[in-house]
Amino acid sequence: MLEEAQRGRYAVGAFNYCNAETAQAIVETGCRLRSPVLLLTGPWEVPLLGAKALVEIAESVAAGADVPVCLHLDHADNLELVAECIEAGFPSVMMDASAHDFEENVRLTKAVVDMARPKGVTVEGELGAVGRVDDWAVEGAHGASLTDPVQAAEFVARTGIDALAAAIGNAHGIYPQRPVLDFERLEAIREATGVPLVLHGGSGTEPDQLHRAIDIGISKVNVASELGRAFLSAIEQAMAKSNGKVWYAHALVEAKAAVAAVAVRWMRELGCAGKA
């Protein structure tokens, strides 16, 4: 998916899901817009449902899809979680060892590549630290450090990763003010590494910033916070309209529609609509 996006100068949306309803909303939207779909889940969902159940939900939803759908583990920060998810059937994983120093990041990420490659599982790594703008985000470092292009080239060469999450001024969560992305740095990273690049913290990024980043070389954009807020807001509104007496399945119908609306906007914005 990401190699095709890189060649086509668009980005694939990676959308977070935590239950069957959100997964359905995302995949159904992808089918409607003819977009490839990345279903994203991470360390905060695995304890909730279990790795096997997350795979089964994704496989069940994808079985009825006529567009490419891939499940991806986001921001795993330990080898045990990665091993559990690979064993459960995840076809793509991320090892985020960016909180460690460079050599330890290389060691841990390379260990994941060595674990994943024989099983045909692709691996994303992160160099630099993508920060967190608010407590609503459930991932990201308290402080951000930008990715060094020279180190990025060495990191990719020594680990053998398939995709690289770069820190170029982006952050997880809903931005309180417009981010300033370092496009010169992004271009240098792209030229130094050659692998598909990932933008974490897509929620709230201005369209002109996104379009320029994609044009330079971003092939995957993660969207989580906007989906979560839309989901919860829809349930809150359903509760308010019924004075707290709404049947929970009816509230989930509203929440599913709200998630789909966010996915529609992002698929169109990223240029992946019509690419499947």
Q: Active-site residue numbers?
A: 74
Question: For residue 108, which phi and psi values (nearest 5 degrees)?
Answer: -70, -40
The position carrying tokens 């692998």 is 195
Amino acid at 115: M
Q: Are 67 and 35 in contact (CB under 8 A)?
A: yes
Cα-Cα-Cα-Cα torsion 266, 267, 269, 270, nearest 10 degrees, comes to 110
How far, in Å, CA of 50 to CA of 90, rounded?
Answer: 12
Cα dihedral across residues 60, 65, 70, 75: positive or negative: negative
Question: For residue 148, which phi and psi values (nearest 5 degrees)?
Answer: -90, 125
Q: Outline where 102-176 has alpha helix (H).
A: 102-116, 149-159
The secondary element (H helix, E strand) that includes residue 72 is strand 69-76
Length of the chain, please?
276
Q: Are 6 and 214 in contact (CB under 8 A)?
A: no
Cα distance between the two ends of the chain: 10
User: In Å, how far are 100, 171, 201, 262, 264 from 179, measured between CA atoms?
Assistant: 25, 8, 10, 20, 23
C-alpha closest to that of 235 among 224, 251, 217, 213 = 251
Amino acid at 253: V
